């Protein structure tokens, strides 16, 4: 098999979901995920994610690089540290992060996730 470049601008059908009810804090956000790439090991993923406004609890088991394309989000760690990101910002959420993810302006991000299989 020949490796090929995968543009994240192609039209890929999105899976629509919402945060689990036991994690939801505020709103009724609708989330869309278009996964463009999964490596053969099943440990690395890349694609686009979007969400309408809302707030929910998160607990990361994966490492995620996020590049915000539109909107604004606020991440609040369980220790109280607050980080806010908008269009053009890039950041990493490391495995082990726990806190809340809040979409304050409907957003879209590009993600690259690595989750080591155990």
Q: Cα–Cα distance between 30 and 21 in angstroms, integer?
A: 12
pLDDT of 15 > 70? The answer is yes
**Torsion sign across C-alpha atoms 103, 57, 78, 64:** negative
Domain boundaries, given as residue ranges, for the chain: 15-114
Q: What is the pLDDT of residues 20-59, one digit of tens each?
A: 999 999 999 999 999 999 999 999 999 999 999 999 999 9
pLDDT of residue 1: 62
Q: What is the pLDDT of residues 70-115, one digit of tens each?
A: 999 999 999 999 999 999 999 999 999 999 999 999 999 999 999 9
Q: Cα–Cα distance between 77 and 96 in angstroms, integer?
A: 11
CATH architecture of the domain formed by 15-114: Sandwich (2.60)
Confidence of residue 118 (pLDDT cuts 50, 70, 90): confident
Q: Which residues contact 24 (CB under 8 A, 6 or more apart)?
A: 18, 54, 55, 56
Closest by Cα among 103, 42, 94, 100 to 70: 103
């Amino acid at each position: 098999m020949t490796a090929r470049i995968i543009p994240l601008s192609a039209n890929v059908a999105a899976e629509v979901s919402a945060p689990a009810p036991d994690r939801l804090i505020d709103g009724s956000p609708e989330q869309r995920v278009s996964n463009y790439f999964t490596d053969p090991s099943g440990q690395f993923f890349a694609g686009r994610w979007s969400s309408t406004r809302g707030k929910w609890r998160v607990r990361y088991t994966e490492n995620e690089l996020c590049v915000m394309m539109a909107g604004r989000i606020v991440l609040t760690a369980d220790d109280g540290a607050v980080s806010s990101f908008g269009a053009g910002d890039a950041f990493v959420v490391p495995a082990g992060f726990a806190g809340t993810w809040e979409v304050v302006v409907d957003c879209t991000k590009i993600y690259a996730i690595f989750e080591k299989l155990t």
